[in-house]
Structure 1
């Protein structure tokens, strides 16, 4: 896929997330790994109104090459790229339910999204929560690196979800499934929910192994 097509895809997915209320205002950011660097959504940009030619391009070290200045959240994206060589895209949103789960004091820090449906297991697996740091802090890179090798999705405490995928589409589907899993978990709080069993999860992991 050439760079022009990738730019259009970033614009398309950004608009879709915004129009469906998965991130609002100038929140959220998207990146895609290229052969000669990375494309990022610009700093303080609204995902609903991206322009393909204004997307930020950075080199392999994160140095700004062209376009508008990149999002300040480069460290959280590179935390995934550093540890997941097959990752071609990373998406960070402020979606309501996943962010709510990231704010709950009793959320399991190593398994924030309960296995209520097969698709949350298939697309995101176990989702850990990393401690709060200010948006754009360089320290988040090391925290994500420590977990990203075994987890394609992470919650930033009091901030929201970040997901890596083998393609932009795969990352988009995964972060949407994470939000749906978080929504179910919030709706079902205080009820006696039936979770998938360890055997169910093992079967899913055998047939639909995450990459």
Structure 2
């Protein structure tokens, strides 16, 4: 896919995510890895109104090669790519239900959401919780990089999910699945639940290796 096609696809997915309420205002950012760097949505931009020509292009050192000033969270994408060399795209959202789960006291920091559905296991898998850091704190990048060695999806405390995929489509589908599973988890709190068993989860991993 050409760089032009990737720019158009970022704008298309950004609008879809915004229109469905998965991100609000100027929150959230998307990126795609390139041979010479990455494309990432600009700072203070609304994902619902992205101009493909103004999407930022950065080299491997974070220097701007084209487009507007990049998202101030571009460093999160760089850290995730460092930890996940085979992933080609990253989506970071402030999606409501995922953020709500991230602030619940006592959730398992090693794997935040239980295996409610097969598609969560297949598309998201293990979801570690990254401790809270203020926006722009460089320690957040280090924490994300550590967590990303264990999983292609992480949840930032009091902030939102960061999900990598082998394509932009795959990353978007995974973050959508994560948000729906977070919604289910919140709906089921206080109810007797029947999650997938360890054996069922292992069978899914065998049938659908990532």
- TM-score bucket (shorter structure): over 0.9
Contact 1:93/1:162 (<8 A) preserved: yes
2:192 and 2:6 map into 1 onto residues whose CA distance is 44
2:148 corresponding residue in structure 1? 148
1:157 corresponding residue in structure 2? 157
Secondary structure of the structure 2 residue equivalent to 1:6: helix
Deviation at 1:105, TM superposition (A): 1.3
Deviation at 1:135, TM superposition (A): 1.8
Which range is displaced more, 167-176 or 104-113?
A: 104-113
2:33 and 2:136 map into 1 onto residues whose CA distance is 19
1:153-176 deviation digits (Å, cap 9, x = unpaired):
000000011100000000000000
1:134 corresponding residue in structure 2? 134
2:69 corresponding residue in structure 1? 69
Correspondence 1:80-91 to 2 at 5 A: 80-91=80-91
Deviation at 1:209, TM superposition (A): 1.6
Q: Give the gaps of 5 or more residues in structure 1.
A: none
2:41 and 2:135 map into 1 onto residues whose CA distance is 15
Deviation at 1:150, TM superposition (A): 2.1
1:136 and 1:172 map into 2 onto residues whose CA distance is 24
1:31 corresponding residue in structure 2? 31
Aligned-CA RMSD value: 0.8
1:93 corresponding residue in structure 2? 93
Secondary structure of the structure 1 residue equivalent to 2:61: coil
Contact 1:101/1:186 (<8 A) preserved: yes
Which range is displaced more, 120-129 or 59-68?
A: 59-68
1:208 corresponding residue in structure 2? 208
Correspondence 1:159-174 to 2 at 5 A: 159-174=159-174
TM-score relative to the length of structure 2: 0.98
Contact 1:129/1:155 (<8 A) preserved: yes
1:70 and 1:169 map into 2 onto residues whose CA distance is 21
Q: How many residue pairs align between the two structures?
A: 210
Q: Give the gaps of 5 or more residues in structure 2.
A: none
Secondary structure of the structure 2 residue equivalent to 1:154: strand
Contact 1:83/1:148 (<8 A) preserved: yes
1:149 and 1:209 map into 2 onto residues whose CA distance is 17
Contact 1:110/1:129 (<8 A) preserved: yes
Correspondence 1:91-130 to 2 at 5 A: 91-130=91-130
1:27-71 deviation digits (Å, cap 9, x = unpaired):
000010011110010000000000000000100111122210000
1:11 corresponding residue in structure 2? 11
Deviation at 1:106, TM superposition (A): 1.8
Which range is displaced more, 144-153 or 171-180?
A: 144-153
Structure 1: 4+ residue segments shifted above 4 A = none
Which range is displaced more, 74-83 or 166-175?
A: 74-83
Contact 1:74/1:136 (<8 A) preserved: no
2:6 and 2:29 map into 1 onto residues whose CA distance is 15
